[in-house]
Amino acid sequence: MSKFDLHKFLDGYGQNLENYIKKYYPGFKKLCVSKASTYNECFDALLQLYFFSSQQLDDFGDKSKRKIKKRYYESFYALFCKSCQCIWSIKMCLESGCLSDASSLLRTLFETYISLKLLSLKNPFRRARLYWNYGYVTEYQNMINNEGLVKSGKISKDEFDRQFSRSIIKNIKKNYNRIKKDYGNPKYTKWYYSLYGDKSFKQICENKDIDESINYVKLYGAFSITVHSNKKIENLLIQNNAYNLAPNYTGLIIPMTFLALSFHINNLSILLEFCKIKNRKDIMLFLNFFLAGLDQNIKKKESYKYFSRFIKSIIKNMKTSKFHSFTSYPPTSSQ
């Protein structure tokens, strides 16, 4: 038996891969750029809203911090920054033809919207405190879970001690004991436990104060198929009746863009209202025109007609309510 030559083995696979990339990547890149260009207006709108949000934070962030206790402000601020990151990530996914990943991010954006909406209800300062202090609960949860790994022999005591020194453990327990009365069982509790008990996210959306049951059923459920294993995910992965690794550019990019924009604009509206920004009405008026302008620019797209009713409902609700809800949807399709 001949001696195994590791370098020759690795070079053989490496060279085959390099040749494959050289053969297909130039055409692949050209095809992606060509197909993506069909939806440049959508990608540009997401980029513009991302930078517009950054501009607003630059303009009023420091002023708001002086007026409101930091930990209360930071709860709103942190969630809105998360929303901004979602907008950027959705833009990058859609532009890369990764619709499945973009829909997962839309799910996260919806969750962020619900959290901000919860914070903005009666006694927002108490709610912001509960959200802020929940970080201490998650730290305690993590420590308890790692202790469980030590007990089951899945990690060593030394490995645990490297992550959790005595001073860290003491600090975690101190913080948790100070706020634990506001939360239930640390293994299962939510930040809103003292407000709504152990209700699920679905039950929170159905609550009369939130009133997002339609969005939960029609949107959140659809987004969830890309997060959990589900046969329906094939709708976003099949092209020409075959599974395909290539980026997927379809008319779904248009409604996904409008959903992302409108959820994020809602989140900005909540933050502006909480911080009592003087020109908040002007900002929202500008964003109404911003969405309407995008609507006008993409009307000539072949797939626009299919989603026009859905898009119109978004724009209409933006103009008529503080926290708009989307009540008109086309049937699910990947065409």
pLDDT tens digits, residue range 212-260? 888 888 777 666 655 555 555 555 555 566 666 778 888 889 889 999 9
186/193 Cα distance (integer angstroms): 11
271/19 Cα distance (integer angstroms): 52
Task: Check if the beta carbon of residue 105 is closer than 8 Å to that of residue 86.
Answer: yes
Identify the pLDDT of residue 178. Answer: 93
Same domain, 185 and 237: no
pLDDT mean over 186-213: 86
In percent, the amount of the chain with pLDDT more than 90 equals: 44
Residue 239's DSSP bridge partners are 242
Lookup result for tokens 């997962």 = 104
Identify the pLDDT of residue 237. Answer: 56
Identify the pLDDT of residue 335. Answer: 32
Lookup result for tokens 């992965």 = 237
For the chain, what is the radius of gyration of the CA atoms?
24
Same domain, 109 and 129: no
Task: Check if the beta carbon of residue 121 is closer than 8 Å to that of residue 134.
Answer: no
Measured in degrees and rounded to the nearest 5, phi and psi for residue 114 equal: -65, -40
pTM (predicted TM-score): 0.82
Same domain, 244 and 266: yes
Same domain, 274 and 222: yes
Of 91, 111, 86, 82, which is closest to residue 216 (Cα–Cα)? 111
Same domain, 91 and 225: yes
**pLDDT of 70 above 70:** no
SS3 211: coil
pLDDT mean over 82-100: 95
- Containing structural domain, residue 307: 37-120+214-335
Identify the pLDDT of residue 328. Answer: 33
290/236 Cα distance (integer angstroms): 29
**pLDDT of 293 above 60:** yes
Same domain, 278 and 168: no
pLDDT tier, 148 (very low <50, low <70, confident <90, very high otherwise): very high
SS3 235: helix
Query: Which residue blocks in the chain are alpha helix, DSSP H?
Result: 6-36, 40-67, 70-95, 99-119, 124-151, 157-163, 166-179, 193-196, 201-206, 213-215, 221-224, 253-274, 280-297, 304-320
Lookup result for tokens 């302008």 = 293
Residue 169 lies in a domain: yes
pLDDT mean over 257-264: 92
Identify the pLDDT of residue 247. Answer: 87
Task: Check if the beta carbon of residue 53 is closer than 8 Å to that of residue 87.
Answer: yes
| End-of-domain residue from the set 187, 208, 229 | 208
Higher confidence at residue 50 or residue 218?
50
Residue 28 lies in a domain: no
Same domain, 73 and 200: no
pLDDT mean over 288-298: 84
Identify the pLDDT of residue 110. Answer: 93
**pLDDT of 307 above 90:** no
Identify the pLDDT of residue 320. Answer: 46
Task: Check if the beta carbon of residue 204 is closer than 8 Å to that of residue 118.
Answer: yes
pLDDT tier, 305 (very low <50, low <70, confident <90, very high otherwise): low
Identify the pLDDT of residue 239. Answer: 59
Same domain, 128 and 198: yes
State pLDDT tens for residues 231-243: 555 555 555 666 6
Same domain, 99 and 171: no
Residue 73 lies in a domain: yes
Q: Residue 325, class by beta-carbon neighbours within 10 Å (0-12 exposed, 13-18 middle, 19+ buried)?
A: middle
**pLDDT of 65 above 70:** no
Identify the pLDDT of residue 21. Answer: 95
Give the highest mean pLDDT range of 197-201, 282-286, 312-316: 282-286
**pLDDT of 16 above 60:** yes
pLDDT mean over 158-186: 92
| End-of-domain residue from the set 208, 227, 244 | 208
Residues 6+ apart with CB under 8 A from 130: 182, 191, 192, 194, 195
